[in-house]
Amino acid sequence: MKTIIEPFRIKSVEPLHHNSREERERLLERAGYNLFLIDAKDILIDLLTDSGTSAMSTGQWAAMMRGDESYAGSESFYRLKRAVEDLTGFRHVIPTHQGRAAERILFHVTCGPGKLVPNNTHFDTTRANVESNGARAVDLPCPEAADTQARGPFKGNMDVAALERLIETEGAARIPLVMITVTNNSGGGQPVSLANIEAVKAVASRHGIPLYLDACRFAENAWFILQREAPYADWTPKQIAQKMFRLADGCTFSAKKDAFANIGGFLCTNDDRLAELEKDLLILTEGFPTYGGLAGRDLEAIAVGLEEVLDADYLRYRIVSTEYLGRHIAGAGVPIVEPPGGHAIYIDAGRMLPHIPGRRFPGQALAVELYRHAGIRSVEIGSLMFGDKAQHELLRLAIPRRVYTQSHIDYVVEAILEVNARKEEIRGLEIVSEPPFLRHFSARFRMLH
Ligand SMILES: Cc1ncc(COP(=O)(O)O)c(C=O)c1O
């Protein structure tokens, strides 16, 4: 059979509410044309993020019932620890309330003024946590990542030659760690090959620098490797993931992505001295090292999710269904970041709406129009989010895991194509008010006519 179906059936449902175009227009005006300021109940299909929005399985809900809520030494922690050790092989597993808490602790103990951290591309919280500890976050994406239309198999890779040059010029002593983000979220959800992780590891080890993974979407990355990197075609997703982790000396992880959890994360390391410092800081801000700011039931959900996510049927469906959305809109002439990524499709709004300059936010204009037309929420990743550092004007459609069915995605395709058919009518926006930082969350706009 060629048809790929959702490898689950639905036992518990949440109603979705249609509202009228007039209501949506009123809601947009009230929210200052910022979709973060629209209530979830007024959204029909929510593609704002894939983080913390997964549907949990019966296995996860059942495990949550046995959550051990002891303050210290909870059974649930040991179940999570065993699951993480089995997958990653790391010596120290430190739970945190979400990914950025792991980042904050890691960069607090390793960074400081004068230090710098290379990454294929820092996610925004990763960059912010490096910089808030006085260090410099350096992005080293591979050259083909710059061309949204190039169709390379591993556009998430790090530029290894650029890493060598950076270490030469800055000196290894100033680089506490090298990080690779899998998949590369800010770079279009593109995967990183095992060959690239090996090459980065070889360079880093030669200079005595540890390698860390920002492993949020490790399973999606493993599936791309299985599909696209010849030596691994017969491996299981778990074997590939294990190999990825064993090349690293530690990781940060947001369980809100590839662990199907609604909250949680962890920090891992093989460095005993660092682990002590990290646990001291954890106690100060997150909690005791056997719960790290999470309930025992959360630890259970993560432990089960880490196993479920490596199921080949799930990963095949996940990657193919994201691609389905991308191919259907790109096939009808909507420019997307090619090839489709793992967790999201990124429309190149700059190309789609060439009549709207970057300073009039084409990505945001498209996000507003998609909501106005069909009640779909997406997010701008361009000049609004990054100011004059933006390299592209993108609109991200992130797909929550196990939440929407194919007919929901067909609805999204239809809506995008209808909007595309009259794209010349779409107008840009002007900012009316904005906060001093992270303005995309709360800025208010005026539509231009
Ligand atoms: C690549 C990457 N790193 C780190 C994070 C931060 O994780 P959290 O939202 O759990 O703090 C995210 C979240 O979207 C991410 O995509």
Residue 124 Cα to ligand 1 middle (Å): 8
Residue 181 Cα to ligand 1 middle (Å): 10
Q: What is the pLDDT of residues 239-253, one digit of tens each?
A: 999 999 999 999 999
Residues 6+ apart with CB under 8 A from 257: 50, 51, 216, 217, 343, 401
Q: What is the pLDDT of residues 11-51, one digit of tens each?
A: 999 999 999 999 999 999 999 999 999 999 999 999 999 99
What tokens appear for 74 in the block? Answer: 């909870």
Atom of ligand 1 nearest to the CA of 98: 10
Atom of ligand 1 nearest to the CA of 181: 1
Residues 6+ apart with CB under 8 A from 338: 148, 149, 150, 151, 330
Q: Which residue has the higher pLDDT, 181 or 386?
A: 181
> Sorting pLDDT into bands at 50, 70 and 90, what band is 1?
confident
**Residue 184 CB less than 6 A away from ligand 1:** no
- Residue 449 pLDDT exceeds 90: no
**Residue 178 CB less than 6 A away from ligand 1:** no
Provide the β-strand partners of residue 433. 444
Residue 214 Cα to ligand 1 middle (Å): 8
Residue 145 Cα to ligand 1 middle (Å): 20
**Residue 155 CB less than 6 A away from ligand 1:** no
Between CA 211 and CA 217, with CA 212 as vertex, the angle to 5 degrees is 135
- Which amino acid appears at position 125 of this protein? T
Residue 216 Cα to ligand 1 middle (Å): 7
Stated length of the chain: 449
Query: In whole angstroms, what separates CA 32 from the centre of its chain?
Result: 26
**Residue 53 CB less than 6 A away from ligand 1:** no
Atom of ligand 1 nearest to the CA of 51: 14
Taking the C-alpha atoms of 16, 20, 25 and 28 in order, what is their torsion angle to the nearest 10 degrees?
A: -10
| Cβ atoms of residues 251 and 212 within 8 Å | yes
| Cβ atoms of residues 199 and 165 within 8 Å | no
> Sorting pLDDT into bands at 50, 70 and 90, what band is 391?
confident
User: H/E element holding 139?
Assistant: strand 136-139
What tokens appear for 52 in the block? Answer: 């913390």
Task: Return mean pLDDT, the chain.
Answer: 96
